[in-house]
Structure 1
């Protein structure tokens, strides 16, 4: 896992070069359960 600092409210989760979640696209910070569900899928 790599944490890349950013600014401007960017929060994205990428696993194996695949974007699982983007706060920039949704405008909402995800819940822990939502992140886990997407990682399991």
Structure 2
């Protein structure tokens, strides 16, 4: 897996079954099917937005 990002994260409750990752309020990845995004998909999506 790609190197971990040195970032702070905040977990917020949402509707049952939801999963959304946002950076500075902008959604970068979310659950769109029954499956959750993989760890690598999350790291890649956040890395793209923060320019790493």
Instruction: Sort the TM-score into its range (normalised by shorter chain).
Output: 0.7 to 0.9
Flag the structure with higher strand content. Answer: 1
Which aligned pairs between 1:1-40 and structure 2 lie closer than 5 A? 1-23=9-31, 26-27=32-33, 28-40=35-47
Runs of 4+ in 1 over 4 A off after TM superposition: none
Output the aligned Cα RMSD.
Answer: 1.2
Tell me which of the two structures has the higher relative contact order, counting C-alpha pairs closer than 8 angstroms and 6 or more residues apart: 2
Q: Can you give the 5+ residue segments of structure 1 that lack an aligned partner in the other structure?
A: none
Q: Can you give the 5+ residue segments of structure 2 that lack an aligned partner in the other structure?
A: 1-8
**1:12-36 residue CA offsets vs partner (Å, 9 max, x unmatched):** 001111101111xx11201111111
TM-score relative to the length of structure 2? 0.63
Flag the structure with higher helix content. Answer: 1
